Amino acid sequence: MSFSENLQFIRAQAGITQEQLAEQLDVSRQSVSKWEGGQSFPEMDTLLHICDLYNVNLDTLLRGSVEESRVADTAKYDGFMTRFAWRISLAVSAIIAGVGVSGLLEVLGAPEALAGAALLLVITVCVVVLVVSGIELENFRRKNPVIADFYTEEQKEAFQRRFVWHIAGGVGAILFAVVLLLLFFSAFPEREPYESYSMAFFLLIIAGAVWSFIYGSIQHDKYDVEKYNRENNPSPEAKRRNNLVGTVCTVIMLLATAIYVGLGLALYMWTAWWVFAVGGILCAVAAVVLGPKEE
């Protein structure tokens, strides 16, 4: 393959336009068009910039085939994203399960402060896992801005069959939890400690459903390599919107944590876990309203 063909392949893999590539290289769109058409050739500094930006060898870029050099998972993308999916899904579902366990501790006779402290400890550990996982993902994206789509169609189809069960299983678990709740109260009176028992087991089942949703969704995105490449090379407007969403969500969750701790210390309301649910909903709304729009 020639340099022009390699450049076209790199840009296609990244899912970006000639104009976006030109912005990254600080050149005009016409220059990129001429390079891809074989009408001109970039300077050495620009070639080295392309190599650094898209993790490609200079000799391969000029005289080899970038496409053939990327037929294998050289970046260990699959393993990294699978571990990331496990961490995120378990951390989020553990927070929900922690709420159920906290309520169960109270009904079993543990002091309210102890139950609240246990919940706060679970939330702290899970938040640390979420933050560390996010930083690791950002570092991986920075190191590997472009990933070759090494998945075969058979692998993608096999996962799609599993993905259906992740979503259907999560929905089924939620419906099962509701049915179980109704059956429970048909056999036991709606008063303490039965209400706390039922809510604790209900939340544990919901935690499993949430794990299934999140794990399946992240794995689904893993197989969409084109989306990964496109998100790593956003337009200036998309980058600005992503930064805004990140800032807004950080402020929202910090406020939620401050409110929870404040209610616990001032009013002894260590069971006010709902502030985190409200914070999560507000973050989702912010992502939809302020996030980048697909063209």
CA-atom Rg of the chain in angstroms: 25
169: closest CA among 213, 215, 222? 213
What mean pLDDT is predicted for residues 143-148? 79
| pLDDT for the residue numbered 71 | 63
**Cα(20)–Cα(182) distance, integer angstroms:** 55
Q: Mark 76-109 as b/e (b = at least 16 C-beta within 10 Å).
A: ebeebbeebbbbbbbbbbbbbbbbbbbbbbbbee
What mean pLDDT is predicted for residues 155-177? 91
pTM of the model: 0.64
Distance of CA 35 to the CA centre of its chain: 36
pLDDT confidence tier of residue 165, bands split at 50, 70 and 90? very high
| pLDDT for the residue numbered 169 | 92
Residue 294 has pLDDT above 60, yes or no: no
What mean pLDDT is predicted for residues 133-160? 86
Q: Mark 240-270 as b/e (b = at least 16 C-beta within 10 Å).
A: ebbeebeebbeebbeebbebbeebbeeeebb
Phi/psi for 188 (5° steps) reads -125, 150
| pLDDT for the residue numbered 270 | 65
pLDDT 10s digits, 43-98? 888 888 888 888 777 888 888 877 776 666 767 899 999 999 999 999 999 988 98
